[in-house]
Chain A
């Protein structure tokens, strides 16, 4: 008989299962950031001159910027000269050969449930595995190439498809967009690249798995996805990091380009190390994600954010073409001392553009969860429509939920709806479930999963199952 209020906060003491460190020899730069460091990174990657110039320009922009302060999170100051900007396993595989991946690195991904041998992988999912600063392997490349689909690490794309990279890099998120995007543009090391040719429906899910391993390093990956006219693709992204006392910075940029009638569905399960129960350590997840949708195109973001000490990200859609559709489905969990300031921007430029925002924030422990969203209807966006729904669920009485919706409407024919709710998991709900034979944790899982259902059903099947489990683990112990 222990369901008193103080036990409610116990659903917070969870062990992070991915906190191990891999011992692997790494080729790393000394900490610090300068033009020289950027030149070194660029040289290591054998980049063309235009890309080095692009990086240096971004660095100059970044040098004049200051960190944003408008968000609703408390950030310990980051010393950008203390960060290592390049760290890669020494044994680099020959491009395209999975057999040469360092066995330690391979074992790491096995342990994370991401086997890199194609025969072991769930059929229907191609994986690009990024370990610290580099991609260590991409599966099913050959099979995808048969259909003209390019799926490779960003570095390979720079070498093999420079025209595509040059055309689209920075076209959705320019270097000057914000502080972290500028930093990423200057120092990004790797990431994933995909191009789906005209009219092709990508035959398998594409996915990238990001792993931070080395201490003191930042991870700055860059992902660029292009769906040509009439193409469609579903892309998944997952991530974990070792358990460390210091905060580590992850500042990524993701750009999606959906040309006319193309469809991109981008799903994230974010499980970076969240810090311990006292708020020590954890990843600072400062990410810029944005998609551009041309005529009749659709960009869908689905995210399940359970990790990171701080999450700062707003996957957005620029609905540039007529009839373009943008969707954002989000579950964000903050437990212990985690903080999240997340949401989306829907920029309606074309006529008859439509956007949907479903955000579910769950706060437990002393977690602080903020939804921040902008819906902007431009002058020419005749008959644009938006529907937003922001729901918050509180577990215990030391956490917080905040909602900041911004609406800018410049066209009177548009229709904008916003709904919001805040609820608390009640003792009486838990007792009701227990009286039916469920344990307290199963009861909380049941209630939380019910709360998130609208978002989970947007996830691809395997991911939905993983997300549900992850949510259970993230909230374990927050009710006793």
Chain B
């Protein structure tokens, strides 16, 4: 589904990603872990098409298309969903209104008919049941005045409604209490199917107790330095990221630091 090859990207003149290789197949859940500043969120943003992130080398193939050549909205309509680390507030814009517009864009792209307000509400209520989210959320302005936990829940709620093929969760677990964490994982697990894939970017192993990954990748210094199964996450939890850095990328770090 997703083939990332030798991906290099810059933000504000600084190279953050220094050659990422990642292959995600339909039905898989991949966890991307790593210390602060390792490039986890940058990878998520590059895949979503954020403008400030400039790809300088490499390629990304998404279901046979050049993902990097697509506008952000084209990626979204084709099934790429990013759950934001910091969802923005849009005052005055009703949550349901944005979601209906988004869902109809996705449906148009799939060749389905657009839903009118009544069908939309029916569909959304059914999906809300999955997450046990309060219906009042629909009528509130997008993320305005939401607590941190509510914002993250809202992201997952949108995801469950839009049913993306490839969901990318950018540190969705950060700042969540255990109940919110369960809601998030329930949403992700509800979408798990042989046709879909999920990339979970996270700092902590905790979320992976609820969303069990098929693969765990450790990102450090803009590269994936180690890949393993779900047990790798537990090992990281125990030993910390320092263990990986000294074990794998020490030569690289040593090679670049004197030049600064």
Binding site for B on A (CB under 8 A): 1-4, 423, 426-429, 431-440, 442, 446-447, 449-454
Contact call B91/A428, Cβ cutoff below 8 A: no
| Complex interface: chain A residues within 8 A of B206 (CB) | none
| Complex interface: chain A residues within 8 A of B91 (CB) | 423, 450-451
Contact call B73/A437, Cβ cutoff below 8 A: yes
Contact call B102/A431, Cβ cutoff below 8 A: no
When A450-B90, A450-B91 are in contact, do A434 and B73 touch as well, CB less than 8 Å? yes
| Complex interface: chain A residues within 8 A of B50 (CB) | 431
When A436-B158, A450-B94 are in contact, do A428 and B101 touch as well, CB less than 8 Å? no
Which residue of chain A has the shortest Cβ distance to B68 in the bound complex?
A1
| Complex interface: chain A residues within 8 A of B88 (CB) | 426, 428-429, 432
Binding site for A on B (CB under 8 A): 48-51, 71-73, 75-77, 81-82, 84, 87-88, 90-94, 97-99, 101-102, 105-106, 109, 141, 158, 162
Which residue of chain A has the shortest Cβ distance to B101 in the bound complex?
A438
CA distance A451 to B75 in the complex (A): 27
Partner of B51, one of A3, A439, A442, A454: A3
* CB proximity of A260 to chain B, nearest CB, Å: 37
Contact call A437/B106, Cβ cutoff below 8 A: yes
Partner of A431, one of B51, B97, B158: B51
When A2-B51, A429-B90, A450-B91 are in contact, do A437 and B102 touch as well, CB less than 8 Å? yes
| Complex interface: chain A residues within 8 A of B94 (CB) | 450
When A2-B51, A429-B90, A450-B92 are in contact, do A437 and B76 touch as well, CB less than 8 Å? yes
| Complex interface: chain B residues within 8 A of A433 (CB) | 90, 98, 102
| Complex interface: chain B residues within 8 A of A435 (CB) | 48-49, 72-73, 75-76, 81-82, 84
| Complex interface: chain A residues within 8 A of B102 (CB) | 433, 436-438
| Complex interface: chain B residues within 8 A of A437 (CB) | 73, 76-77, 101-102, 105-106, 109, 162
CA distance A130 to B246 in the complex (A): 82
Apart from the given pairs A435-B73, A437-B102, A450-B94, 7 other A-B contacts in the complex at a CB distance below 8 Å: A432-B84, A434-B73, A436-B99, A439-B73, A442-B101, A446-B97, A446-B98
| Complex interface: chain A residues within 8 A of B109 (CB) | 437
Contact call A431/B93, Cβ cutoff below 8 A: no
Contact call A447/B90, Cβ cutoff below 8 A: yes
Give me the 7 closest cross-chain CB pairs, A-B, nearest first: A450-B92, A450-B93, A437-B105, A436-B102, A437-B76, A434-B72, A434-B73
Which residue of chain B has the shortest Cβ distance to A2 in the bound complex?
B51
CA distance A461 to B199 in the complex (A): 45
Which residue of chain A has the shortest Cβ distance to B92 in the bound complex?
A450
Partner of B87, one of A4, A432, A434, A439: A432
CA distance A399 to B82 in the complex (A): 32
| Complex interface: chain B residues within 8 A of A452 (CB) | 92
* CB proximity of B250 to chain A, nearest CB, Å: 35
CA distance A415 to B48 in the complex (A): 50
Which residue of chain A has the shortest Cβ distance to B69 in the bound complex?
A1
* CB proximity of A459 to chain B, nearest CB, Å: 16
* CB proximity of B85 to chain A, nearest CB, Å: 11
Contact call A447/B93, Cβ cutoff below 8 A: yes
* CB proximity of A423 to chain B, nearest CB, Å: 7
Which residue of chain A has the shortest Cβ distance to B168 in the bound complex?
A435
Contact call A436/B92, Cβ cutoff below 8 A: no
- Supply 17 A–B pairs (Cβ within 8 Å), ascending by A: A3-B51, A426-B88, A428-B88, A433-B98, A435-B73, A435-B84, A436-B76, A437-B102, A437-B105, A438-B98, A439-B73, A446-B101, A447-B90, A449-B93, A450-B91, A450-B97, A452-B92
| Complex interface: chain B residues within 8 A of A432 (CB) | 84, 87-88, 90
Contact call A1/B51, Cβ cutoff below 8 A: yes
CA distance A1 to B75 in the complex (A): 11
* CB proximity of B80 to chain A, nearest CB, Å: 8
Contact call A438/B105, Cβ cutoff below 8 A: yes
Partner of B76, one of A3, A429, A434: A434
* CB proximity of B65 to chain A, nearest CB, Å: 15
Which residue of chain B has the shortest Cβ distance to A452 in the bound complex?
B92
CA distance A292 to B90 in the complex (A): 38
* CB proximity of A290 to chain B, nearest CB, Å: 30
| Complex interface: chain B residues within 8 A of A436 (CB) | 76, 98-99, 101-102, 105, 158, 162
| Complex interface: chain A residues within 8 A of B101 (CB) | 436-438, 442, 446
